[in-house]
A and B are shown apart, each in its own frame.
Chain A
Amino acid sequence: MSASSETVEKRLTRMALVRKRFARNKLAVAGLVILVAMFVLAFVGPFFGKHSWDSLDFFNLLQPPSREHFFGTSQIGGDVYALTLRGLQKSLIIGILVAIFSTGLAAIAGGFAGFYGGKVDRSVMWIIDALLVLPSFLIIAVMSPWFRGRTWLIFVVLLAAFGWMITARIIRSATMSLRERDFVRAAIYMGIPARKIVFRHLLPNVASILIIDATLNVGGTILSETGLSYLGFGVQPPDVSLGSLIAEGTASALTYPWLFMFAGAALVLTVLAVSFVGDGLRDAFDPGSAMGKKL
């Protein structure tokens, strides 16, 4: 690759190149900073608050933000600071888990569909098309009474089950073109089993797509999770998410804006930061790609 005249320190590995391109993108770096700040706030922040999220302060009901309660208190004396951080934690965890699950599912489904072609491909594509047309939001809402009182992990699985289709399509078309490449053919003729080819040769080559989509999926998931929780179909009480916090806070938002303001701001900032990071990653991995080529 490198010409002999080039000095050693000028040679860049691919990761270093990606990192360099990413660092040049101001919005993406800003997004990353915000995202890291959100994580720190969500997981370290609670140690600085004076109250825990499930304790009630009966002497301070509906108090505006103060030094005792950084974000004020709710109707029943809950500490809004602690509640917001707890909700942020939950929303972030759900977003990341779902993104990992659904991208993994997309990689497997898309990889095998693209590699095998034929019947496997047709059936996977049929499932993808069917799931894309289904009103997934309504379906999850319908199933919500069933996971009420159970672990929220079921909710994560459901969100992931309805979130992998578009990525799987992209992966499928990428593997279909990779399949014709020499190194894959060589592997096939060497008699390497299909499972190994997909995991060892095909998927690593689409890793950049997977990373980008996993990042962007975090934002999308947080949006649909908070939406469902807002309506009471997602994270169930006594646990809180940003969505359920906003729902509780809006009843009297005009007079007591601190009830939902902080949760709303945290939500918008997080999703915004995630999408900036995702776009930055895409530009860094693949500078030639146009944003509109997705879907």
Chain B
Amino acid sequence: MVIIASTLGYVLSSLAFNPRSNYEGGNPPIPESTIIAKLNHLGVNPDVPIVKRYATWVGNVVTGDFGLTIGEKSVNEEFSRRIWVSLRLLILGSVLGSVLGVALGVFSAVRQYGIGDRASSVASFVFLSMPVFLTAILLKYGAISFNQKIGTTFFYTIGESSADFSGGSMELFVNRLQHLMLPTLSITLGGIAFYSRYQRNAMLDVLGSDFIRTAKAKGLTNRQSLFRHGLRVAILPMATFFAYSFGLLVTGAPFTESIFAWNGMGQWFITAVQSNDINSVSAVIVFSAVLVLLSGLLADIVVAALDPRVRLR
């Protein structure tokens, strides 16, 4: 799968992009021979057959070299600098989103048609219909006006830490946290909405089933039967959704990162597409394919841990 994704990413971007545009239109114009030399240097010269370019690229990638960006920096360096920025956001966002979403779903299933259930249903419908960028923008401007009201900067809306920061490690942590809150929240809200809907339905199915009645009949309290027997079964489908939703998150990240000015993979992808940077775009696609694959693997492991039937096979 990773191979297909990376091949598609490289071939399509090579066909669609025009890296030459970066050198054209300069004043004075750059000589033709220099442009060709540059393109050859980057390995993106459109006159070289695509199969040949692809073969060179794959050869380099296998040895761990993603080539050069359009600005002639190493893609690898850029990659390692940005990967943690993105992963911090993605992992925190997906873990928080799934845990809180499952909790909310269980809560609203147990109290079906209560006020809490109704409120959370309406809220999750709204957040599911709201694209990530709109959530992020609203959060950002809400936070800015909140900051203006209280007079100090409580929520930071730009970057992942203050550039002019000085202070101890504890203060650095707090500072990072203040930056982290909004982007994570904008990713998490969608996740909570998604998981709580599905968890609610799964839980409702389980609650009506016979084995819960049996558990209660053998003398377990309501709480015990719910958590020990009910939740364990109802949470299974969520593990499978986790793999899908991680893929969704990977696409959500470009929006959050660009709106909150985080220099992560998603934001890199956007600038790379805009500047016709074939090597960088392919690197990001490889990254997201690997992520989706890993999350699928993780989902399988979680299912196996929860479901003895799978383990036996």
Contacts and interface: CB of A to CB of B under 8 A. Distances in A.
B133 A227 contact: yes
B125 A264 contact: no
Interface residues of B, number: 55
B273 A144 contact: yes
Contacts of B255: 227, 230-231
A226 B134 CA distance: 10
Interface in A127-156: 130, 133-135, 137-139, 141-146
Most A CB contacts (10 A, CB to CB) among B13, B197, B270, B288 go to B13
Contacts of A130: 1, 4
Interface in B10-38: 12-13, 15-18
B289 interface: yes
Interface string B277-300: 000010011001100110010000
B288 A135 contact: yes
Contact of B12 (A143, A246, A247): A143
B212 interface: no
Interface residues of A, number: 39
B250 A142 contact: no
A226 to B, nearest CB: 6
A292 interface: yes
A290 interface: yes
Contacts of B204: 290
A136 B241 CA distance: 17
B59 interface: no
A295 to B, nearest CB: 7
Interface in A240-295: 243, 246-247, 250, 253-254, 260, 264, 267-268, 271-272, 275-276, 290-292, 295
A135 B273 contact: no
B199 to A, nearest CB: 9
B239 interface: no
B244 A145 contact: no
B75 to A, nearest CB: 16
A223 interface: yes
Nearest to A294: B198
B153 interface: no
Most A CB contacts (10 A, CB to CB) among B145, B197, B247 go to B247
B130 interface: yes
A279 B237 CA distance: 20
A250 B137 contact: yes
B159 interface: no
A233 interface: yes
Given A135-B250, A135-B289, A145-B273, 10 more contacts: A134-B289, A135-B247, A141-B270, A223-B129, A223-B131, A247-B133, A250-B259, A268-B126, A290-B201, A290-B205
8 contacts: A135-B5, A139-B9, A223-B131, A231-B254, A254-B144, A291-B201, A292-B198, A292-B202
The 10 residue pairs across chains A and B that have the minimum distance between CB atoms? A137-B251, A271-B129, A146-B16, A292-B201, A272-B129, A135-B288, A142-B13, A133-B1, A145-B16, A291-B201
